[in-house]
């Protein structure tokens, strides 16, 4: 009896200091992951239980000829505390909990367990034996906040050794973060980091924002990215100034090429809209940003309940069919964007209009070729929409509008 009690205490001690990992075999691709994401987002009570056990669900996605990828959903805790046991210290504020402060503004806890990581091909990697806080502070100065949302906050920053302006995105870890295992990288990476690293592989597109470096702290991630200067959100430019056929053509060509580049690199952005493009004011160069809603590209399509894009750009098949596919969904979103760029407003105001309304044009000054391409992209039958390549071959893009 005594030996049994001692053995039980030993098991409890080991479980406390080294949490068990339970790996679950994956079902058919496209079935388990959407269900996990749906449950975690709609039913907080179904989040991981209050134990020291980290539950992991893996699925292998066979993505045509691009190899095998692995995705994992996991609780973002470090194993030392359960979700409800984790609380705010007296030095923490609600603001800091919702979006942890950047390193250098308020100390990050605990620094001794932080690890700094650098994207492949990034500039001047940080010393690997230093914490992320020390590495970040040695490379960057943080300036004003330039954006915020459900994802966290974005700050303007400066790289110390050359004064280059960068965008610093700070994201809080959440319980239903999706981690991806991408070819050539031994570790699981949070979705946005994984997809941006895939976009860094040859050849790099000038129409997609570039990740320079990234850091992981106990409660969040810091991404250091390219900052095109001077720039603004595409939406701001659309709503402020009237656009002509030529400007729209220049911008939309870049938008289509950015999405095309994502697909060629095995990435489905899944959130194409006018706020996720940056426009350089002096050159009209476009940059696609914010890959946090993205997915690995799959030729098999996706369950409609994992669509992450904004409602105004939602393709009709997501509302009516059990599955949707990346390229037709992207083409629909680009059609909505093209309409918005050309008319200064959205073509549909609600789901009823998305499913039923006829497309009408507010701005009759745009060419018939522009209106024709918009009409093709906004076909409610996804099989009748053009491909990305066919969009670029359309007469509107072929015409010389000088």
The DSSP letter of residue 313 is G
Residue 271 annotated as catalytic: yes
Alpha-carbon gap, residue 211 to 224, rounded angstroms:
6
CA distances, 340 to each of 332, 344, 372 (Å): 12, 5, 15
Q: CB burial class (10 A; 0-12, 13-18, 19+) of residue 383?
A: exposed
The values of phi and psi at residue 395, to 5°, are: -55, -30
Alpha-carbon gap, residue 332 to 344, rounded angstroms:
17
Alpha-carbon gap, residue 365 to 165, rounded angstroms:
39
The DSSP letter of residue 208 is B
Q: Decide if 342 contacts 248 (C-beta within 8 A).
A: yes
Active-site entry in 175, 236, 241, 271: 271
Q: Which residue has the tokens 């974005």?
A: 154
In 3D space, the residue among 300, 311, 157, 135 whose CA is nearest the CA of residue 215 turns out to be 135
Tokens of 32: 């388990």
The set of catalytic residues is 271
């Amino acid at each position: 009896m005594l030996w049994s009690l001692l053995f039980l205490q030993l098991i409890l001690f080991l479980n406390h200091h080294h949490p068990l990992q339970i790996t679950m075999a994956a079902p058919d691709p496209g079935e388990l992951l959407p269900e996990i994401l749906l449950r975690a987002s709609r039913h907080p009570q179904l989040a991981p239980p209050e134990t020291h056990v980290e539950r992991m669900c893996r699925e292998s996605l066979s993505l045509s000829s691009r190899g095998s990828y692995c995705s994992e959903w996991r609780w973002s805790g470090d194993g030392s505390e359960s979700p409800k046991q984790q609380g705010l210290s007296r030095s923490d504020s609600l603001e800091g909990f919702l979006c942890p402060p950047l390193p250098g503004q308020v100390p990050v806890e605990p620094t001794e367990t932080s690890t700094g990581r650098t994207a492949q091909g990034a500039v001047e990697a940080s010393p690997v034996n230093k914490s992320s806080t020390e590495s970040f502070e040695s490379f960057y100065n943080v300036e004003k906040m330039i954006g915020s949302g459900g994802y966290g906050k974005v700050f303007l920053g400066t790289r110390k050794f050359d004064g280059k302006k960068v965008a610093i995105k700070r994201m809080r870890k959440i319980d239903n973060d999706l981690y991806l295992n991408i070819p050539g990288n031994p570790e699981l990476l949070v979705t946005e980091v994984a997809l941006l690293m895939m976009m860094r592989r040859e050849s790099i597109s000038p129409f997609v924002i570039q990740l320079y470096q990234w850091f992981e702290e106990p409660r969040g991630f810091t991404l250091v990215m390219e900052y095109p200067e001077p720039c603004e959100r595409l939406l701001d430019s659309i709503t402020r100034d009237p656009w002509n056929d030529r400007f729209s053509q220049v911008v939309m060509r870049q938008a289509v090429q950015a999405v095309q580049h994502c697909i060629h690199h095995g990435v489905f952005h899944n959130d194409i809209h006018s706020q996720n493009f940056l426009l350089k004011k002096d050159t009209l160069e476009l940059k696609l940003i914010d890959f946090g809603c993205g997915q690995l590209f799959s030729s098999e399509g996706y369950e409609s309940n994992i669509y992450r894009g904004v409602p105004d750009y939602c393709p009709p098949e997501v509302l009516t069919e059990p599955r949707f596919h990346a390229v037709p969904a992207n083409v629909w979103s680009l059609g909505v964007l093209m309409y918005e760029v050309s008319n200064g407003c959205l073509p549909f105001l609600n789901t009823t209009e998305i499913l039923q309304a006829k497309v009408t044009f507010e701005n009759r000054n745009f060419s018939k070729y522009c209106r024709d391409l918009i009409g093709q992209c906004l076909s409610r039958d996804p099989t009748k929409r053009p491909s990305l390549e066919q969009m670029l071959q359309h007469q509107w893009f072929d015409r010389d509008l000088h």
